[in-house]
A and B are shown apart, each in its own frame.
Chain A
Amino acid sequence: MGDGRLLLSEFLLVLRRRRNQVLLGLLALVTVLIGVAVDVSGPARDGEGPAFLRSITDNGLFLSFTALVVSLPVFLPLVVSVVSGESIAGEASTGTLRYLLVVPVDRTRLLVVKLLSVVLFGLLAAVLVAVVGAVVGAVLFPIGELRLLSGTTVSYGQGLLRLAGVALYVAAVLATVAALGVFVSTLTEVPIAAMAATALAVVLVEVLDAVPQLSALHPWLFTHDWLAFGDLLRDPVSVAGLGHGLLVQACWDAVLVTLAWARMTTRDVTS
């Protein structure tokens, strides 16, 4: 019970930060801009622009999928890097970590609350892009039956359900970035360093994923299966890719969270 209240107050604290609000606003803005651009310039030609861009004029719901495809490689991980890098290092830099720990708050519990609030923020960011995309898409473009990657159609309601699944998958992959960011954040007392290091690490992994000579390594990189959410848009839904993606994320999560825990519970808190 106390844990839930602690988590809620921590999450609200994260939400009240002006910087985090601006980041969420920019995410929404990107989504709106894609919608307006397509509305003004007309449908994209075949093979032009990101996946799903061509389909937006057929069904506004594709604006959500396009926006998620566009923001997943850089924008969403960057937002989560900023919030997670701040989590522990931010308290340390302002000297409040010491006071937090003077109050009898278990270090493990503090770490879990910090991590979960970042994971929740990632979920909020993914859902925000999906919802803004769906709303703007419904205003600017026709809605109705959704044509899947397999060529068959499903009802708009079923489409919304699949969009929810995609948003949850995106939130799950962002949780790995959150775990990475919180671990890096336990290593330093300089929040900006933790943010930059986390964002750079994500980009580095994405670069490794793009080097064909390292293809043996690719299935184990946490960014490799990020676009597997497309499997939710097949008929019938393909679970193998999604399952592998979630398994790899879970493995990385387990390693990163235990690393963060080991660091958090053994470090000397001097400021």
Chain B
Amino acid sequence: MMRTAVRWTIPAAVATAVIGGSLAWPSLAGAAPDLAPTTAADLMADVAGSQAQALSGTVEQTTDIGLPQLPSGAAGQDPASLTALLGGTTTARVWSDGAERSRIAVLGSLAETDVVRNGADMWTWRSGTGTVTHAVVPSGRPAAAAPGQPQLTPAQAADQALAAVGPTTQVTLGSPATVAGRQARTLVLEPKDAASLIGRVVIAVDAATAMPLQVQVFSRGSAEPAVQTGFTSVSFGAPAASEVAPALPLGSAVEEVTPQALQAQAGTVPQPTVVGSGWTSVAVLRAAGAQLGSAPSGAAGAADPTALLKAMSVPVSGAYGSGRLITSSVFSALVLDDGRVLVGAVPAPELERAAMDAAAQP
């Protein structure tokens, strides 16, 4: 018979092993790889020249930008709704044949939203309502860039960030990393203007294919990313036809979204006026605020935009007028009562200054 004290050490040892294992696992899996040296310019050129890959994988987007916690994520809710993407973690499975066909399945608790793309045709399936919508979108445009759809894939996010690189950005090579079990080089984009809320953007580029695997956006002075989107697993090679082009219920119940309606959905929103330049530029949208207020509520799975705005913002007023202010760690937005909406990656005072700019008047 073992002594009493000895017996109690066994559960203690098991608990220690479990906790130690779970804490040590991420650092074991994410060890920095040893890669041949390159330059930031070469790496950017590699990314620009990389081919679209046939792949299947899992993408995770985590957003922690300091907005108030919004009610979302209940079982059966639309996982691709705006509230789900503004805070918390969204997981999606992606398939692409590297050419015309792709599928993004946004996973929710007991729910799923699929965006299936075949050339110019785009179908969206929502399990919460059991409906399919079909739209014809200009080909060449990535599936998830359609209005109302999340920017989920790292490649799209990286393209956006790299397109913004200009004289206001300092690009350096970061330390190598392991992303989704693959060796990756990293590019660090830093705004030169200290007024920007964004501290740096880190892009992890697959060493073998030059495809961006992960994009992290850090707010100024923060060690934890405010927004991170990246593969948690990826395998290259053509996916099965049933995976990339699932047989959705394409009967009479399919709701057609015409290009006109798409445009209307994207906003009869007029072209924004841009005040300032580079990372600190502020976009001014006119008459968008009024639309926000009158937008149809109770749309499938989406929260009422007016209530959403109320929950996220505080009332403000000044020489520029009055309205509501949304602040987060990476962007600020000012929704004015005169219908103007100002958005930028700058602190609130910069927005208020922009609101008084001559170019931003209603």
Chain A interface residues (CB < 8 Å from chain B): 46-47, 50-52, 54-55, 58, 69, 147, 149-153, 212, 215, 220, 227, 230-231, 233-236, 238, 240-241, 251, 254-255, 258-259, 261-262, 265-266
Question: In the assembled complex, which residues on chain B have CB atoms less than 8 Å from the CB atom of A230?
Answer: 75, 109-111
Whether the pair B75, A258 counts as a contact (CB closer than 8 A) is no
Known: A150-B127, A215-B88, A258-B14. 6 other contacts (CB 8 A): A47-B76, A147-B130, A147-B249, A150-B125, A230-B110, A262-B7
Question: In the assembled complex, which residues on chain A have CB atoms less than 8 Å from the CB atom of B18?
Answer: 251, 254-255
User: In chain B, residues 1-40, which have Cβ atoms closer than 8 Å to a Cβ of chain A?
Assistant: 2, 4, 7-8, 10-11, 14-15, 18, 22
**Closest Cβ–Cβ distance, residue B237 to chain A (whole Å):** 15
A54 to B10, CA, bound (A): 48
Whether B135 is near chain A, meaning CB under 8 Å from some CB there, is no
Once A46-B129, A47-B301, A151-B127 are accepted as A-B contacts, the answer to whether A234 and B107 lie under 8 Å apart by CB is: yes
A46 to B109, CA, bound (A): 16
**Closest Cβ–Cβ distance, residue B333 to chain A (whole Å):** 22
Q: Which of A54, A227, A262 contacts B75 (CB 8 A)?
A: A227
> Which of the segments B43-51, B188-196, B240-248, B324-332 contacts the partner chain?
B240-248
Residue of B nearest to A264 (CB): B7
A251 to B301, CA, bound (A): 36
Q: Which of A46, A212, A255 contacts B128 (CB 8 A)?
A: A46
Question: In the assembled complex, which residues on chain B have CB atoms less than 8 Å from the CB atom of A231?
Answer: 107
A262 to B11, CA, bound (A): 7
Question: In the assembled complex, which residues on chain B have CB atoms less than 8 Å from the CB atom of A212?
Answer: 69
Report how many A-B pairs have Cβ atoms within 8 Å. Answer: 98
Q: Which of A151, A220, A238, A262 contacts B107 (CB 8 A)?
A: A238
Chain B interface residues (CB < 8 Å from chain A): 2, 4, 7-8, 10-11, 14-15, 18, 22, 58, 69, 75-77, 88, 93, 105, 107, 109-112, 114, 125, 127-130, 132, 232-233, 242-243, 246-249, 300-301
Whether the pair A149, B110 counts as a contact (CB closer than 8 A) is yes
**Closest Cβ–Cβ distance, residue B17 to chain A (whole Å):** 8
Whether the pair A150, B75 counts as a contact (CB closer than 8 A) is no
Residue of B nearest to A58 (CB): B130
Once A46-B300, A238-B93, A240-B233 are accepted as A-B contacts, the answer to whether A149 and B14 lie under 8 Å apart by CB is: no
Whether the pair A151, B246 counts as a contact (CB closer than 8 A) is yes
